[in-house]
Amino acid sequence: MPSDHDEAPMPPLPEQQQSIPGTIADMDPKPDHGEESYKGSGRLSGKKAVITGGDSGIGRAVAIAFAREGADVLIAYLNEDQDAQDTAKWIEQAGQKAVIVPGDLSRAEHCRSVIDRAVKAFGRIDIVVNNAAHQMTFKTIEAIPDEEWEKTFATNIHAMFYLAKAAVPHMTEGSSIINTTSVNADTPKPTLLAYATTKGAIQNFTGGLAQLLGDRKIRVNCVAPGPVWTPLIPSTMPVEEVVEFGKNTPLGRPAQPKELAPAYVMLATDEASYISGATIAVTGGKPFI
């Protein structure tokens, strides 16, 4: 009997390139965020969530899943307005409240404004998913501009600190922070030096923050994806790498975004009440130490 995964993107993928940060509409094949397949069962009923990078990719899949599990969702994104509005429609179709907030998360003041919007809209915060990320490909260290290094750190790891710092006063016992790290935290790809370095920092940040917030009974975990078919890929990687994207995994393909969402749902539920400081690897079979 065929499964949903028979429709997963299989290398070689069509040649394609986009400008940063990329959009869903221009991707071939189109990514699957669970729009037609994710079935909720009330596991997050009544919870209030903030998801960064929630317009597309993993963030959109998580937003759809959270809403179908009963959570209201604020999605923060850079400037992909159409993708964000489409995600909001899926949240609302699930019967939940959707709030969308554009802006640059590399700025501390914007991170604080995102949390302020969530508190005003929802009254509290139960879940923060730190998922927004920036990456670019460079073949030599000399080719990496100083500004690019700084932007990658500001977006990928500094923002997590600013968001968590602002959100924690509005979180109570049982709340959950979920950070997106990467298989690159364990096996860094050299041409993604800045990105991979931040992903290692995210895993360390997660472990430290889990201990720091333990006495408040706020859990902190991270998910480490392998290759996932999102707009970030055709907008930040050379065409030849896009064509072969995900081929080197044991499953021989990249993940669809919807295949990541269940890990975030699990970590956000009350069922995961004793899981904190953990890394959940979703890598298509590639070992993660």
- pLDDT per position as a tens digit, 44-65: 999 999 999 999 999 999 999 9
The DSSP element (H or E) to which 159 belongs, if any, is helix 159-167
Cβ atoms of 69 and 265 within 8 Å: the answer is yes
Question: Which pLDDT score, from 0 to 100, does residue 1 have?
Answer: 37
The DSSP element (H or E) to which 151 belongs, if any, is helix 146-153
pLDDT of 249 > 60? The answer is yes
Contacts of 55 (CB under 8 A, 6+ apart): 75, 77, 78, 80, 83, 84, 87, 100
The separation between the first and the last C-alpha atoms of the chain, rounded to the nearest angstrom, is 34
Question: Which pLDDT score, from 0 to 100, does residue 8 have?
Answer: 82
CA-to-CA distance for 222 and 89, rounded, in angstroms? 27
Amino acid in position 131: N
Q: Within 10 A of 140 (CB to CB), how many other CB atoms are there?
A: 9
Amino acid in position 189: K
CA-to-CA distance for 76 and 138, rounded, in angstroms? 27
Which domains, from first to last, does the chain contain? 41-227+258-282 (3.40.50.720)
CA-to-CA distance for 167 and 249, rounded, in angstroms? 36
Instruction: Compute the radius of gyration of the chain from its Cα atoms.
Output: 18
Amino acid in position 223: V
Contacts of 268 (CB under 8 A, 6+ apart): 44, 47, 49, 66, 71, 126, 127, 129, 176, 178
For 173-196, the pLDDT digits (tens) are 999 999 999 999 999 999 999 999
Coil vs helix vs strand at 156: helix
264 is catalytic: no
- Residue 6 binned pLDDT confidence (cut-offs 50, 70, 90): low
pLDDT of 144 > 80? The answer is yes
Question: 38, 77, 162, 195: which one is catalytic?
Answer: 195
Cβ atoms of 163 and 171 within 8 Å: the answer is no
Q: Output the average pLDDT for the chain.
A: 96
